Structure 1
Amino acid sequence: MIEAKTRAWWRATMALCLGSFLVFINLYVPQPLLPELKTAYEVSTLGVSLLMSVATLSLALSLLVFGPLSDAIGREGIMRITLLLAGGCSLALAFAPNFESLLLLRLVQGFVLGGLPAVAIAWMGDAFEKSALLSAVGLYIGANTLGGISGRVVGGAVAEIGGPSASFIVVGAMTLVGCAVFWRLLPNSHAFEPKRFQLRRALVDLAGHLRNPVLLAAYCLGGINFLIFINQYSYITFRLAATPYALAASGLGLIFLTYLGGTFASAISGRLAERTSPATCMMAGVAILMTGTAVTLHDSLVLIIVGLTINAFGFFLTHSLASSWVGRYAQGARGSASALYLVFYYVGASLGGFWLEPFWQGAGWLGVTWASWILLTVTLTITLGMRCFERRCCL
């Protein structure tokens, strides 16, 4: 088993962080382009938002395949091959002839992008000692945020020069180069013990995880929080592209630098949890997300950015600890347990537009804020229940 802060730990962690970065740069590159694509293809706000929703939904569904499959055939090959295919999909997006083909390619890309997230944390659970897991997961989630930031910033900046097609070409090329480095860095996990894949066994494992209230709480927490967080960014692009802000694609891409608040939160989440407790920190994270949402109601662009940064800190603090919570309390079949967390996570993201759209149409950003608070009250209640469980376990 790999011990914390050793050379082997750093090499493995950096490899997985790079893979995570590449996944999320591909997933989120279209987001700052949504207002421009909406105009170019003459579709509605909900219609163009499907470019994000279909990718996150197919990613969620792929986790049900890759998670159990990784328990049978191993983790490394799945991560390497799917990452390569994801880069190829980004290049293909640049040459999509119409909106329908763009949606289809995003559907396929979302599926292959699920390969690495489905098994990365399970790989850490196999290879790392328990003391090394929390800090590794925190850095891995931090790389998620950097990938998300880079996809949006690069996508917006390149589109300003060469249009959306150029953005997809640049990100695709970056992914293929990064994939070669990932293949070389990632070691094989010698602690992995394969189990012959059996559909019935896989379904039993998934059902067992869903019957475990300790895991189900984390699944619902991650899914509902992400439903709000990621879709707030989609609707804020429409708000800021309109008057009086009138931001171009490059300016909208820079808005996503607020994710750096989440990068910082992910990196320190393990240390904060050791000083208090994971559940307490998750409660604080939800409360911070609610507070940041309130700040975004102000008309000042500076305060909107401050509010989004606060949101990112609160969301990723909770997400990092909820992910490691699943690894800690799963009773066997870690691959499918971690995958199921991400199924809830990305299904939540794909449904967010349907939840927020009526509020957006009815009351603009104020409506989005109220819709957010309604569901965040639910997740705050969930974290309270997790804290009660944690206290009982410590007695």
Structure 2
Amino acid sequence: MIEAKSPAFWRATLALCCGSFMIFSNLYVTQPLLPEFQLAFGISTLQANASLALATLMLGLSLLVYGPLSDALGRRAIMLVTMAGTLVITFALAWVNSYTSLLILRAVQGFLLGGLPAVAIAYMGDEFSKKAMALAVGIYISANTLGGISGRLFSGFIADAFNWRASFLFAAGLSLVCVVIFWWALPKSKHFKPQQPSLKTMLKDLISHLRNPLLISVYLLGGLNFFIFINQYSYVTYLLAGEPWLLSSSFLGMLFLTYLTGTWAASISGRVALVVAQPLCMAIGIGFLMLGSLVMLIPSVVAIIGGLLINSFGFFFCHSNITSWVSRQASTARASASALYLVFYYMGASTGGFYLDPFWQAMNWQGVILGSILVFIITLAISLGLWRKDPRTLSDIT
């Protein structure tokens, strides 16, 4: 097994982080461009948001395929092939002539983007010791946040300097570098034990996970948190692009630098979970989400940025603990268990806009915050219920 802080640990973690960086920079590259799409194609806010929602929806659905498939065929090849496909689609997006074509390509891209998230945690579960995995998951989630930040940041600046098409070209170049590093650095699996491909077995594994009350509870918790968190960023983009602020795409892209507190939160989550039960860590993260949302009610750009910083810390602190906890709770078919969590996670991301849009239309930004708090009350209750059922820390287990 790969032990924590060994040369093999750092090489494998580097590869997975580069892959994660690429996936999430491509997924979120369109988010600062939503106002640009409105102007270029003459569409509504909800239609513009479809460029993100459709990609996250297809990513979520693809996990039902990649997770079970990797249990049968292995992890590394699936991650590499889907990353290469993502690179090709990103390049093609720069040349579309209609919004319909853009959405079709984003749907295909979303399906390919699911290959690495569905498999990466299972690869760690196969190859890393428990201690190494607890550390690696936090670093891996940090790369998720850095990818999300970078994709949004460079797309905003490049769109202002050139146009939105140039943002996709830059993303394609960056993706090529990540694919090469991933191919070179990721060790081949040594402890993977393939299962015979069987649709019946795949369905049986998925049903088994859904019947596990500890897993289904945390699936709902993570999905509902992301349901709100990611779509708050979309609506704050519309808020600050309008009166009285009229902020540019470059500044809107810079809003996603607030993810840096999430990067820090993810990196420390494994260490905190050694002394604090993971469900309680989840509850603490949700508390930060509620606090940050309330801070954003203050009508000031500084307050909104402060609220986003708090929200990012809370969300990724919670998400990192959920990711590790799911793998620990699944005694078999870990890839399927992790993939099923991400299905709920990305389904939440793709549907949250439909939930928040009526609040936005009725009460503007105040409505978005009201809708957010209502959902966070539910997820807080779920996390506290899980804490009562599983009060152990990782130090208790190891």
Deviations along 1:204-241, whole A, 9 cap, x unmatched?
A: 00000000011111111110000100000000000000
**Aligned-pair CA distance for 1:274:** 1.1
Deviations along 1:91-123, whole A, 9 cap, x unmatched?
A: 111001100000000000000000000000000
Residues 1-395 of structure 1 mapped to structure 2, 5 A cutoff: 1-391=1-391
Query: What amino acid is the match of 1:98?
Result: S
Q: In angstroms, what is the RMSD of aligned CA positions?
A: 1.1
CA distance in 1, matches of 2:224, 2:211: 19
CA distance in 2, matches of 1:45, 1:346: 20
**Aligned-pair CA distance for 1:389:** 1.0
SS at match of 2:145: helix
Query: Given that residues 279 and 391 in structure 2 are in contact (C-alpha distance below 8 angstroms), is that contact kept between their aligned partners in structure 1?
Result: no
Name structure 1 gaps, 5 residues minimum: none
**Aligned-pair CA distance for 1:245:** 1.1
Query: What amino acid is the match of 2:249?
Result: A
CA distance in 1, matches of 2:186, 2:166: 30
**Aligned-pair CA distance for 1:12:** 0.5
Query: What amino acid is the match of 2:284?
Result: A
Query: What amino acid is the match of 1:302?
Result: V
**Aligned-pair CA distance for 1:329:** 0.5
SS at match of 2:337: helix
CA distance in 2, matches of 1:131, 1:253: 36
Query: Given that residues 143 and 263 in structure 2 are in contact (C-alpha distance below 8 angstroms), is that contact kept between their aligned partners in structure 1?
Result: yes
SS at match of 2:5: coil
Question: Runs of 4 or more off by more than 6 Å in structure 1?
Answer: 392-395
**Aligned-pair CA distance for 1:340:** 0.2
CA distance in 2, matches of 1:154, 1:69: 34
Q: Which stretch shifts more, 295-304 or 229-238? A: 295-304
CA distance in 2, matches of 1:297, 1:192: 49
Aligned pair count reads 395
TM-score, length-scaled by structure 2: 0.98
CA distance in 2, matches of 1:236, 1:98: 26
TM-score, length-scaled by structure 1: 0.99
**Aligned-pair CA distance for 1:392:** 7.8
CA distance in 2, matches of 1:62, 1:139: 24
Query: What amino acid is the match of 1:87?
Result: L
**Aligned-pair CA distance for 1:153:** 0.3
Query: What amino acid is the match of 1:4?
Result: A
CA distance in 2, matches of 1:159, 1:7: 40
Residues 1:295 and 1:156: Cα distance change in structure 2 (over 3 Å) = same
**Aligned-pair CA distance for 1:265:** 0.2
Deviations along 1:191-215, whole A, 9 cap, x unmatched?
A: 0001111000000000000000111
Query: What amino acid is the match of 2:352?
Result: G
Aligned-pair identity in percent equals 54
CA distance in 2, matches of 1:334, 1:280: 23
CA distance in 2, matches of 1:274, 1:392: 9
CA distance in 2, matches of 1:159, 1:293: 29
Query: What amino acid is the match of 2:390?
Result: E
**Aligned-pair CA distance for 1:162:** 1.3
CA distance in 2, matches of 1:240, 1:294: 17
**Aligned-pair CA distance for 1:275:** 2.0
Query: What amino acid is the match of 2:95?
Result: F
CA distance in 2, matches of 1:331, 1:186: 25
Query: What amino acid is the match of 1:239?
Result: L
